[in-house]
Structure 1
């Protein structure tokens, strides 16, 4: 027995010696194949070695590295784990295992491997910068920068470390410094794709969109199938309003990597914009399956529910996003917008959520020292207007009349345009300005610098919390006096915003202490230019024999309480008709859905007319078929209210519980139609029924209403502008007196 055991041991030893000799011949061939760029050959040779010696460290390590390079993460992890088991104190193997775990998004396990590698070999720069990347994914960017700095100190020409350091700077908003790091990496390696990609990311954050596009294009020239670059370029196109190229990039990225998160989210956002809710929801849910902590996915899923009218679920999703990322601006903005549409909310909640934006975002932005200005109370003042809507947009219809009628002897008008989109209305806005600045590619800090350098005395926000706003600029306070006006007349919640243009109906005296701003009353919260070439039309009811109501508003303003009330009115007037006009009604799904809501309330389909997209002249011409307009709630009409009144069609409205729900009433009362504004639902019905029963009086009002509008302080844009300028002068005098 003993001799047999000894014989087997001897034979095994001879076999092991033979295998080691074979391995000694194979291993250099595997290394040479790997270095020559033949990974499949290297992998096959490693397989031969491990068939002979299953625990051979060098073969396991090389196989893991080859698999890691080729994206075979399962094989890489298995091989490198066995390699580390074979040699637990081998720093390079630990570093590579950390990288494999990092690529599998197991960041905490990766960190432990990389920290051990660095402890064993403090000058292993690959492990140091790998650890930095892992720390960044764990939400520890400051520590990540320290790790990258150690790598750079050891190897000053290490392009990867500079690139990775730049990536760690981005979440800290140190974007200009990040760009310098990417440039340094590119100076060391001009074809460093990741550095080019990082430069694109930094440029997007800095709003240097042309630079970002050039960087992404250069990165794709190096690696055409880089899904993350395609996704970010799509995001860039989307921000610039180039929706078709954006969708093409998102779809290209998803064809390469169906789980690419940025592409899925971009696809979802663009689908929501285009009213394609079902695919948007599907994309958001795919993201949440793989990343339940995606605040962006929760926000856009909320937007999908809002589009479908499920406001309660939408709000829950926005709140979930804010739990995950308390300073996520898109979620706060979505919440602000949503609450204005929720019937049960009021001034208290509306202003509270605006203050929430300030506490979560605005308060974290450093305020500038007060700019030095000549405190002469009567000198010519520079008024700076900031907007992304100096273009064909309903907001421009509101502020363009004021721009046109300014007294340029007393006021210098500067416009800071924050959108890449330009059209005929842009040219009109530009013509009304003394100074025009294309600011859409300026970061918030750069725009604040420019405003201060231009000597702006009073800076006016024309967006509120609507899309394209630059409220972070106003948080910096680059001008002595700041005002919010017109574009979204509901207040901002910013303590750095001094005044808010409103009117006594839109913002009653009793609720004004809720506002961050001092409320200054104009004749109405907004005005518009008179209709061009409009001729009075006869009352349709006289020829039709029945009343025709009109709702020429966005369909998302048609809340269920409003539709139910209108259905009640239609039931009380069995012959009445209703015409609803909005561009979104081109979509058969939306149109049929709206009609179905009326039918569900007992209103026959043939009593409802839906009109879709048209030119503005065609839009105005449709008022000839309308006897009375019905104002929606809780989100009122604005420009649509003025258009109806200017066309001679009175508007029935009711006083709501927030500024957005009282604006139409403010306009209607400002032109003298006090008896057209109700306090409640019953009053709304009573007004409509009373006037429907007096067609002769209604016909007389139809002929008189355009001149009533034109002679009112709210409807006469020159008078209105003088009131605005009186406000500016008062604000400036107060400022001068305060110093």
Structure 2
């Protein structure tokens, strides 16, 4: 049959009849017949594109669509046909194909905001957030009041860790469409990330009221509750999400974490094992499982889990990988059997992997090189709230000579409280940083002209070490929290004291070790419940040893030595008390370690009591841990009239106890070997007169020592800052 005798219009009417009847295969055959006669027939090409899309043959459909656009780009229903294929790509999670298709269409329709929205969504689903941002920005220029594009922009900004910037877009979307579930959910997520957890709970709860069938909403509500510290509520939400969708495996890391933080450590471990029986291909599950193994003091297993979690993502500098690596370093720090060199090598690897690549962002400093000028000093930490750091940080900030230093606080506390308000009164410039990206914060510090930048976090949660890796200030140092090197070659100094280090230990620190004239900190106790009382043995006739340390410090070496002491002192008992021992199963597991050495369970008082002062009233002699010493609880012990024995080990976490005892004037309680440690504890336990005397005198000794001389400490720190600054002023231009 010739072209002249073939009636294409009649054939297209036949195609439409087949469409109306839902007979898509027959409609396709007619269309194919049309393009055999008229290869550039636009109606037939568009119809074939639509048919292929409806039949989930989207790639073939796109081929016909491209031919159709080439013939007639202004076909009336071209967008409808294209969007039908795009939606099928979305349903099939074929995001790379959707990106390619929508990018192609955007060249034909550059002023179509919906096409750009599809392109933005395709990139969001592939985690190409930086690439999605300009596309959605253009889409909003074309359609500024489209709620779906506004919500997608909010999603991108949240993913780029610009949560504060996301909120106006999401709020505008909800003004236009108040019951938009995805908008309420995303707004809740953004508020959670910037610490507005109550608002987060309210918004996500509202989304659930509108549509209680969506399991991801319950998961996100659980995250908001967890961030608010309401772990039992979070657990309920996670479990409900899994009831709605048992294969929603990304809930498991959150459930594992909430159980751990709620003190249900053994149940958390079992949950992790169950999740890994379902899949071993989700890195977040391995990471959460590692956290709970770490909490239960299974360090080797935790390290293996973290290494597995790190093995999935090619982006070695991702924030996820950085967090997992930090947790890995935590385990190495507490490991009883690794050499200092092996541990430090892991810190050096952290620097090479996460910090060194940022050296390309270093810039020349504009700070005036004037040795005697008033120094701008910035403190970077999330601990500006009711956190243990307040016992050390507040005295320094209050004691600063404001004629010598101008103090900036770069603060990202998880929430603000009365302690936060008090901090603000001591600070010249308060800069909230929770909603700042690392790049933005680094630029802010540079713009503020900070001379000395102090990291008070190390590798603890919420740290901003990537900011320091960008070198935003001429002089930087680490002090106080964490107790060991950051590993960052970008940080100039590690501020400590002489008892905390040893000769020839420079190779164990990325920073230059700088020793203060006196102790590395000053201590201001919370005295509200710290009433002194008589030694417990006076009333019960039993010597009570005790430790308020976390479980990760109580390793097999510590257990063996403590069991030796108890064995040598039949008329004695041991208190082990901290938040890690809320779970009865964890208590029993720790007790079993001592029972292997023949120590009766009745002599082990393991649990958790708060506040610590109440526990300390029942302890005669403190026992420090090793190779990672305890910290604040050692100072609390002395303040309550309790002597403690400490074993020196690797710098610097293994010499915290020695630092405290040296500053307090009681170096006689420092041991250099495990045998000496046990001997000193037993000898002290037999000297009941000394224990009575110390119960009443240790507090006054502390108060008169450098450990509590706040003005002297502030001058010591300021002297160090000034000397560091002078070294910079005399050095080469940077």
Give the TM-score range, shorter chain. Answer: 0.7 to 0.9
User: Which residue of 423, 429, 439 maps to 1:435?
Assistant: 429
Instruction: Tell me what 2:374 maps to.
Output: 380
Instruction: Tell me what 2:494 maps to.
Output: 500
Instruction: Tell me what 1:271 maps to.
Output: 259
**Deviation sequence 1:486-523 (CA, Å, 0-9, x none):** 11121111111111112233232322123111111133
User: Which residue of 621, 624, 631 maps to 1:638?
Assistant: 631
Whether 1:200 and 2:155 are equivalent positions in the alignment is: yes
Whether 1:690 and 2:657 are equivalent positions in the alignment is: no
Instruction: Tell me what 2:570 maps to.
Output: 574
Query: How far has the Cα of 1:577 moved from its partner?
Result: 1.5
C-alpha distance 630-285 of structure 1, shift in aligned 2 (>3 A): closer
**Deviation sequence 1:549-605 (CA, Å, 0-9, x none):** 111222333223212221111011001112222234443333333334333432222
Kept after mapping to 2: 8 A contact 1:94/1:116: no
Query: How far has the Cα of 1:410 moved from its partner?
Result: 0.9
Whole-angstrom distance in 2 between the partners of 1:407 and 1:421 = 28
SS in 1 for 2:499: coil
User: Which residue of 382, 390, 395 maps to 1:396?
Assistant: 390
C-alpha distance 584-513 of structure 1, shift in aligned 2 (>3 A): closer
Instruction: Tell me what 1:722 maps to.
Output: 715
Whole-angstrom distance in 1 between the partners of 2:455 and 2:603 = 43
C-alpha distance 508-177 of structure 1, shift in aligned 2 (>3 A): farther
Whole-angstrom distance in 2 between the partners of 1:336 and 1:680 = 25
Matches within 5 A, 1:235-246: 235=223, 238-239=226-227, 243=231
Kept after mapping to 1: 8 A contact 2:498/2:515: yes
C-alpha distance 536-280 of structure 1, shift in aligned 2 (>3 A): closer
Whether 1:217 and 2:196 are equivalent positions in the alignment is: no
Whole-angstrom distance in 2 between the partners of 1:171 and 1:504 = 51
User: Which residue of 524, 528, 534 maps to 2:519?
Assistant: 524
Whether 1:320 and 2:308 are equivalent positions in the alignment is: yes
SS in 1 for 2:334: coil
Query: How far has the Cα of 1:443 moved from its partner?
Result: 1.7
Whether 1:557 and 2:553 are equivalent positions in the alignment is: yes
Kept after mapping to 2: 8 A contact 1:631/1:664: yes
C-alpha distance 25-99 of structure 1, shift in aligned 2 (>3 A): closer
Instruction: Tell me what 1:298 maps to.
Output: 286
User: Which residue of 162, 179, 184 maps to 2:139?
Assistant: 184
Worse-matched range after superposition: 336-345 or 545-554: 545-554
Instruction: Tell me what 2:672 maps to.
Output: 679
Kept after mapping to 2: 8 A contact 1:466/1:488: yes
Worse-matched range after superposition: 720-729 or 388-397: 388-397
Instruction: Tell me what 1:67 maps to.
Output: none
Kept after mapping to 2: 8 A contact 1:386/1:416: yes
SS in 2 for 1:384: strand
Query: How far has the Cα of 1:484 moved from its partner?
Result: 1.0
RMSD: 3.9
Kept after mapping to 2: 8 A contact 1:482/1:498: yes
Instruction: Tell me what 1:73 maps to.
Output: none
Instruction: Tell me what 2:350 maps to.
Output: 357
Whether 1:465 and 2:456 are equivalent positions in the alignment is: no
Structure 1 portions without partners, runs of 5+: 1-19, 31-45, 62-86, 101-111
User: Which residue of 505, 508, 527 maps to 1:511?
Assistant: 505
Whole-angstrom distance in 2 between the partners of 1:60 and 1:685 = 93
SS in 2 for 1:610: strand
Worse-matched range after superposition: 531-540 or 665-674: 531-540
- Paired residues, number: 656
C-alpha distance 633-56 of structure 1, shift in aligned 2 (>3 A): farther
Instruction: Tell me what 1:257 maps to.
Output: 245
Whether 1:162 and 2:117 are equivalent positions in the alignment is: yes
**Deviation sequence 1:58-109 (CA, Å, 0-9, x none):** 5999xxxxxxxxxxxxxxxxxxxxxxxxx9x965566667788xxxxxxxxx
Whole-angstrom distance in 1 between the partners of 2:645 and 2:480 = 22
Worse-matched range after superposition: 509-518 or 117-126: 117-126
Whole-angstrom distance in 1 between the partners of 2:526 and 2:251 = 44
SS in 1 for 2:504: helix
Instruction: Tell me what 2:35 maps to.
Output: none
Whole-angstrom distance in 1 between the partners of 2:233 and 2:131 = 28
C-alpha distance 536-151 of structure 1, shift in aligned 2 (>3 A): same
C-alpha distance 586-297 of structure 1, shift in aligned 2 (>3 A): closer
C-alpha distance 480-607 of structure 1, shift in aligned 2 (>3 A): same
C-alpha distance 130-725 of structure 1, shift in aligned 2 (>3 A): farther
Whole-angstrom distance in 1 between the partners of 2:373 and 2:121 = 47
Whole-angstrom distance in 2 between the partners of 1:21 and 1:166 = 35
Instruction: Tell me what 1:332 maps to.
Output: 325
Structure 2 portions without partners, runs of 5+: 1-10, 32-44, 71-80, 172-181, 187-203
SS in 2 for 1:464: coil
Query: How far has the Cα of 1:467 moved from its partner?
Result: 0.5
Matches within 5 A, 1:657-672: 657-672=650-665
Matches within 5 A, 1:408-427: 408-427=402-421
Whole-angstrom distance in 1 between the partners of 2:302 and 2:30 = 51
SS in 1 for 2:406: strand
Whole-angstrom distance in 2 between the partners of 1:554 and 1:370 = 44
Query: How far has the Cα of 1:466 moved from its partner?
Result: 0.6
Instruction: Tell me what 2:18 maps to.
Output: 27
Worse-matched range after superposition: 306-315 or 216-225: 216-225
**Deviation sequence 1:426-472 (CA, Å, 0-9, x none):** 22222221111222122222222322222221111111011011111
**Deviation sequence 1:331-370 (CA, Å, 0-9, x none):** 2011011111210123223322222222222233352313
Whole-angstrom distance in 2 between the partners of 1:137 and 1:654 = 59
C-alpha distance 281-577 of structure 1, shift in aligned 2 (>3 A): closer
Query: How far has the Cα of 1:165 moved from its partner?
Result: 2.9
Whole-angstrom distance in 1 between the partners of 2:29 and 2:675 = 84
Worse-matched range after superposition: 213-222 or 384-393: 213-222
Query: How far has the Cα of 1:134 moved from its partner?
Result: 12
Matches within 5 A, 1:596-675: 596-615=592-611, 619-675=612-668
Kept after mapping to 1: 8 A contact 2:487/2:509: yes
Whole-angstrom distance in 1 between the partners of 2:211 and 2:136 = 21
Whole-angstrom distance in 2 between the partners of 1:723 and 1:412 = 16
Kept after mapping to 2: 8 A contact 1:186/1:195: no
Whole-angstrom distance in 1 between the partners of 2:346 and 2:252 = 29
Query: How far has the Cα of 1:241 moved from its partner?
Result: 5.1
Q: TM-score, normalised by structure 1?
A: 0.78
Whole-angstrom distance in 2 between the partners of 1:548 and 1:204 = 52
Instruction: Tell me what 1:33 maps to.
Output: none
C-alpha distance 658-674 of structure 1, shift in aligned 2 (>3 A): same
Whole-angstrom distance in 1 between the partners of 2:557 and 2:543 = 22
SS in 2 for 1:293: coil
C-alpha distance 21-526 of structure 1, shift in aligned 2 (>3 A): closer
Whether 1:151 and 2:90 are equivalent positions in the alignment is: no
Whole-angstrom distance in 2 between the partners of 1:652 and 1:561 = 15
Query: How far has the Cα of 1:638 moved from its partner?
Result: 0.7
SS in 2 for 1:666: helix
